[in-house]
Amino acid sequence: MLRAVNRARLAFTLAICTLGIQPGLTQTPGPKPGAPRAPMSLGDLALASYFRNETAQLAANCLAEIQSLEDWQARRAEYRRQLQEMLGLLPWPERADLKPVVTGRIEREDFAVEKLHFQALPGLYVTANLYLPRAVTNRVPAILYACGHARVVKNGVSFGNKTAYQHHGAWFARNGYVCLVLDTLPGGEIQGLHHGTYSHRLWWWNARGYTPGGVETWCCLRALDYLVSRPEVDPERIGMTGRSGGGAYTWMVAALDDRVKVAAPVAGITDLHNHVVDGCVEGHCDCMYFVNTYRWDFPQLAALLAPRPLLIANSDKDRIFPLDGVLRVHEQVRRIYALHRATNHLGLLITEGPHDDTQDLQLPVFRWFNRFLKQQDPLIEMAAKPFFEPEQLKVFDTLPADQINTRIHETFVPHAEPDGEPILPQRQTILARLQEKSFNAWPPTDTPLHLTPAFTAQRDGLRLRAWDFTSQPHVRLRLFLLDTAAAPQPRSITLDVLDEEDWPRWLAALRTEFEPELTLELLAEANAPAADAAAFGELKNRLSLADALAFVAPRGIGPTAWTGDEKRRTQIRRRFMLLGQTLDGMRVWDIRRAVTAAHQATGAEALTLTLRARGTMGVNALYAALFEPSVRRLELARLPASHREGPDYLNVLKILDISQALELARARAEVRVD
């Protein structure tokens, strides 16, 4: 019988592939093992060390404060609150009327399917199929099934990824469960967006504190509301499962809602080491992640299911959820279950195979729910198989005109609105919120600078000096100072913060006079610019109006630049995001450290400092000045109007926007914006 079922599944797989489905994938597979890599620069090597060190710190801190059951009980509610916030769900959205509508029903001898939709928010439509067992006389257990990424599209019409996972719903119904199978945002009949940072450069999602994982979690929470409203469902016997993306949502939903009594996420979690160091982030879209404000590693999410029955299921050759990371997650979670004396409620299932929806994974999951929702363990004599063509399971004939699915990222997380109160009296509160919500990854201010002279050179009465300093471990930057050779200790300095366009111009100018002294790595850059005497003349003119000019290139620019195309740079930025950082947020820190380095290098405690920068880097300089009292003047140019255009500090738009930051800066420094 199983051989016949396998033939049926093969036929089904071939059929859905003709519709453009990729069952069980996150749509963005990462680099294949053994694929050739581009040569690494010194900047690449330093960046790899940085990511490894930061990831190790978060792994070491994960649940380290939990040494007893009392510790866990004291902190669990706060962990939940943090997760709710990091998913963009704090405060909870309004639980408005679901307005459920059943648009059709399919009758079979052994089960029935209702085609339905409900509104998780007004206009946020969730399309779903509800699988119902026959001859229900009492309330029965229910399963919420969260679909992974699958694309079921034919002639431009999306039938929803629920149709790719129909075999799960049918199996549960044939075995006495109610099962609700949900469409997701990009895989639904109304196609939304998951790949904002991955492929659409919507970095403002970070600034807004938005993740599509929050939308998927909310839709699942409202699906639970719908399930408990059904007369067939026993609300005390609800389980949840799903694979890949659906596995990730199972973790998030069950962590937040105790109505999920039993969970079996499949191929939906691994740890930060796999994502950041091993590069698995490159195989996942944005929905797999929360905005990591509180700098969690993923075992902290998983532990929130304790002590409820939890089966962690994965295959041993899954390259986007690698086995070693899954085992590390299980080890951490098992420790929390042990504190509850509930290790019999924790299961680990590892099967042979790649990232695929295999029968080897399905059958133990079914048994897990039988065991804990039915207190039974019968011999499973049937396998999961599909019964319907995608067209049969489609909910809408015509898509609703009032849908907000395609633009939910614009409104799901509220942004800060001016409240009419003067902003200056709120200065300390705002800075504290920025420190906690946007710049939580900054190291302590007493981190050693390790300032080291690099070289000194003199030409025609001018002097160029350089110092190397540590911004944070594994981030070593260089500060340059240009002044006149006979100048006394400077009382004021203008510090230019160089961006990707400024760096080659600056290098071209300095090569005019100081090429022999500039270090080899500066002049060995690919496409290093030719000397530019006119640009050097401009520097000399500026120097005639100031005691000294200083220059710094924050991480990723100039000497610390990373190789690779735009796609690779995107994945670098996403790694920062997973660590509870953003690239520009850490560049703000680099600027702050450069200010400290300027004080130490010159030996001038009372140094008056001007920061000069433009564009996105100008905003970085602006925020650095908010935290550095010695910055008495800002010379900024071509600033973006809003953080929506950049830079993307985590959650910053929940607190303020660039115009309010300028107002705060003007209270303490002279600010000129061109």
What digits encode the pLDDT tens for the residues 516-535?
Answer: 766 555 655 556 788 899 99
pLDDT in tens, 569-582: 999 999 999 999 99
Q: Say yes or no to pLDDT of 26 above 60.
A: no
Cis ω before 516 (30° cut-off from 0): no
Chain centroid to Cα 412, Å, comes to 16
Tokens representing 349 are 């299932």
SS3 of residue 202 by DSSP: coil
What does the pLDDT look like over 66-105, one tens digit per residue? 999 999 999 999 999 999 999 999 999 999 999 999 999 9
Instruction: Count how many residues are written for the chain.
Output: 674
Q: Are 346 and 310 in contact (CB under 8 A)?
A: yes
CB 13 within 8 A of CB 262: no
CA distance 130 to 173: 9
pLDDT score at 530: 86
Distance CA 379, CA 223 (A): 30
Beta-bridge partner residues of 418: none
CB atoms within 10 A of CB 347: 19
Structural domain spans, the chain: 2-410, 425-673
Please, are residues 355 and 244 in contact by the beta-carbon 8 Å criterion?
yes
Q: Which of 377-391, 425-439, 543-557 has the highest mean pLDDT?
A: 425-439
Dist. CA 107–CA 289, nearest whole Å: 38
pLDDT greater than 60 at residue 5: no
Q: Which of 222, 232, 291, 283 is nearest to 648 (CA)?
A: 291
Per-residue model confidence as pLDDT tens digits over 488-500: 788 889 999 999 9
Rg (CA), the chain: 28
Strand ranges, E, within 20-139 = 101-107, 111-121, 124-133
Token pair for 541: 């003119």
Asked whether the domain spanning 425-673 has the same topology as the one spanning 2-410, the reply is yes
Q: Is the pLDDT of residue 16 over 70?
A: no
Statement: residue 10 has pLDDT above 50: no
Fold of domain 425-673: Rossmann fold (3.40.50)
The third-level CATH classification (topology) of the domain covering 2-410 is Rossmann fold (3.40.50)
For residue range 43-70, what is the model confidence (pLDDT) as tens digits? 999 999 999 999 999 999 999 999 999 9
Q: What is the pLDDT of residue 89?
A: 98
